[in-house]
Amino acid sequence: MTSHVGTWSLGAGLAASVAATLLWLRLALATGASVRHARLATGASLLAAAVSCGTLEWALLRHDFGVRFVADNGGRHVPLYYTITSLWSSLDGSLLLWLLILAGYAGLLCRVVPAGGQRLHRYAMSVVSAVTVFFFALTYFAANPFHPVHPVPADGPGPNPLLQQHPAMGLHPPLLYAGYVGLVVPFAYAVAGLLAGRAGGAWLAAARNWTVPAWAMLTAGITLGAWWSYAVLGWGGYWAWDPVENASLLPWLTATAFLHAALPGRRVAETGWRVSLACASFLLVLVGTFLTRSGVVASVHAFTESTLGPILLGFILLVTAGVVVLIGWRGGPRDSLPLPASLLSRPIALIGNRILLTSIAGVVLIGTVFPLLAQATTGVRAAVGPAYFNRSALPLAIAALALMGLATLLGPGARRPGDLARRVAIPVGVALATVAVTGLLSRPGPMALAAFGCAALALAGTARKLLDELRPTRSHWARRLRHRRRALGGLLAHAGIAIIAAGVAASSAYTVSAERELSVGQSIDVRGASARLVALDRSRSGTDMTVRARLALAPRGRSDGEAAAPQLRYYPQREATVSVPDIRSGPLHDTYTTLVATSADGSSATIRLAVNPMVGTIWAGGALTAAGGLLALRRAPRRRRPVAGTARSRGTAPPPAPPAATAVRKGSA
């Protein structure tokens, strides 16, 4: 029965989304038609997605092993929390979550119309509904998790053991998906602007304000994923330039570039840039979906091999071809204005930063897909390691960080040389002093030194700009804060990125580690820390087996300290062994211990000890960046009640709604 309900709900959602696409397209082409049926169809597709997800979750909670997904990913021994999160632990269930979020965005979007943009809104709804059709069809025909199983097994293996080690499993995938899928709305408005012949017009404000919450959630998802990797995988790092990690970074880079290109009041309006960046962000989301769900890359983050690869690749090529044709047809720079006369102005700095961000995205994309292209053309499996990304992407990122700091100090136009010198003197002085002191005391290397200097410049420039924002009405700073939320949110996001850069530079330059086989009573030392093996304990919980190394941690040269207990956990049902590190976090560094291996007789163990400086600043900077994005959301003005006898009361086209920012505020709260 559960299998039938789930399959029927997917079929109903597919039919409803097809109807919604046709109805919204008819409304866009024939003004004056009723929107009631289109909204009902959109709501029906959302209801069907919710029923599908709820049905699969119910099957997991009831341990209904007659459903294929539950038989493959459920288990009676799995704790309740990880049973709930099992919904998105495998390919088919994660597509259901993706589909629910996508249908949710469509349901929110259909209720909010930008001021004076009804036709744009209807074209945008047509695009979002068409994307929903594809994902409903993909799930129903190629990745249906509700297929019945015969004979019904008595138990299941549970989800991947790596997905049962950290509570971030309940937050990271939903946040990442919400950010990913949210980029469909600016893509839809960009395509709507091209279809309506308004490539430089009203679509931009709506697209930007829908991008902000998606960008903030994507930032939070990436940061949480890095923390999860650091806390679970046992390798001591947080970013390995893994193809799936890169897949989440790529749309973040282009969405960041789009947000800067779409700033209100900008004196340079490059329509081609804006449309291309809005479309590229969602296309890169589709590329990431292909990399994660096709099985073409080997990654700890990717799902197993599946038949979805050709289908996803075909959809990516179809959407790309359509976007290129539309941009060539309607994407001319009709609203471009002359560049500012001075090169030392904020618009020029923002253009440079945008070029750098897209260049980083290009470098990362090439390094990510090159092994796939090489294998497809030559049959030889190639590899692009972290060295390529560090040599090519990091210098561009440091340059972008420097321009970010300068952009906050420059004005919209030319400044007198004396005024400009006074404005940049303190931030540049702070940056130079940071480079000098850091270089003399520790010699971290040129790349890290440049990152420290640019981060200091960005932080000092942000502080200076923040003082400027609040100084004119210092006695009424709270009122000023409410009126300047968008600018202040951007400043907080800039500060968060600078803090992340400083944390990455410090952890990369100053991390020290050692790995050694220890007998009980022996110690391993690194700079500033020591770990002594006290004992090895073995235990069994159900079918799972755990080996725990009891360590005594102490500052190097001292015998007293605190206890640590890294573990090795063996899951026989999955035939997998997971290393669970022990992390002791402090204000300046983390002490990170890992149990790598044990001897057969239990008399010795291989221990890895690392001291990782300033890793906590990365998580703090990511949280600050995401919070800045949320702060930049516009507050929704009050809606006016419709007057009796208006078009809304008659069930026809609604009157103009508040600005598009209202939509975003309501859709992201």
Q: Which residues pair with 32 in a beta bridge?
A: none
The pairing of beta strand 529-541 with beta strand 562-564: unpaired
- Ramachandran quadrant class, 610 (left: phi over 0; alpha: psi -120 to 50; beta: rest): beta
One-letter amino acid of 658:
P
Please report which confidence band the pLDDT of residue 33 belongs to, taking 50, 70 and 90 as the band edges: low
Q: What is the pLDDT of residue 524?
A: 93
Q: What is the pLDDT of residue 522?
A: 92
Q: What is the pLDDT of residues 557-572, one digit of tens each?
A: 555 668 899 999 998 8
Q: What is the pLDDT of residues 41-59, one digit of tens each?
A: 999 999 999 999 999 999 9
Residue 141 vs residue 308, higher pLDDT: 141
The residue among 558, 557, 621, 553 whose CA lies nearest residue 590 is 553
Please report which confidence band the pLDDT of residue 225 belongs to, taking 50, 70 and 90 as the band edges: very high
Residue 274 vs residue 46, higher pLDDT: 46
Q: Would the pLDDT of 639 be above 50?
A: no
Block residue for tokens 């800067």: 260
Please report which confidence band the pLDDT of residue 650 belongs to, taking 50, 70 and 90 as the band edges: very low
Name the burial class of residue 199, with classes exposed (0-12), middle (13-18) and buried (19+) by CB atoms within 10 angstroms of its CB. Answer: buried
Q: What is the pLDDT of residues 442-471, one digit of tens each?
A: 888 899 999 999 999 999 999 988 887 766
Asked whether the bond before 151 is cis by omega within 30 degrees of 0, the reply is: yes
For the chain, domain boundaries: 1-159, 512-616
Q: What is the pLDDT of residue 357?
A: 96
Q: What is the pLDDT of residue 576?
A: 85
Q: In whole angstroms, how far apart are CA 509 and each of 183, 234, 365, 439, 445?
A: 35, 19, 26, 12, 7
Please report which confidence band the pLDDT of residue 554 belongs to, taking 50, 70 and 90 as the band edges: confident
Q: What is the pLDDT of residue 645?
A: 40
Q: What is the pLDDT of residue 268?
A: 42
One-letter amino acid of 529:
A
Q: In whole angstroms, how far apart are CA 215 and each of 73, 103, 249, 379, 469?
A: 31, 19, 11, 37, 24
Q: Would the pLDDT of 338 be above 70?
A: no
Q: What is the pLDDT of residues 523-542, one digit of tens each?
A: 999 987 899 999 999 998 87
H or E element that contains 148:
none
The chain-wide mean pLDDT, for the chain, equals 85
CA 337, 343, 346, 349 dihedral sign is positive
Q: Would the pLDDT of 10 be above 70?
A: yes
Residues 217 and 171: their CA atoms lie apart, in Å, by: 11
Q: What is the pLDDT of residue 663?
A: 38
The residue among 206, 212, 207, 214 whose CA lies nearest residue 181 is 214
Q: What angle do CA 308, 290, 106 make, to 5 degrees?
A: 90
CB 216 within 8 A of CB 246: no
Q: What percent of the chain has pLDDT over 70?
A: 84
Please report which confidence band the pLDDT of residue 510 belongs to, taking 50, 70 and 90 as the band edges: very high
Give the helix, strand, coil percentages of the chain, each rounded to 5.
60, 10, 30
Mean pLDDT, residues 134-147 taken together: 94
Q: Would the pLDDT of 345 be above 90?
A: no
How many of the other CB atoms lie within 10 Å of CB of 530? 20
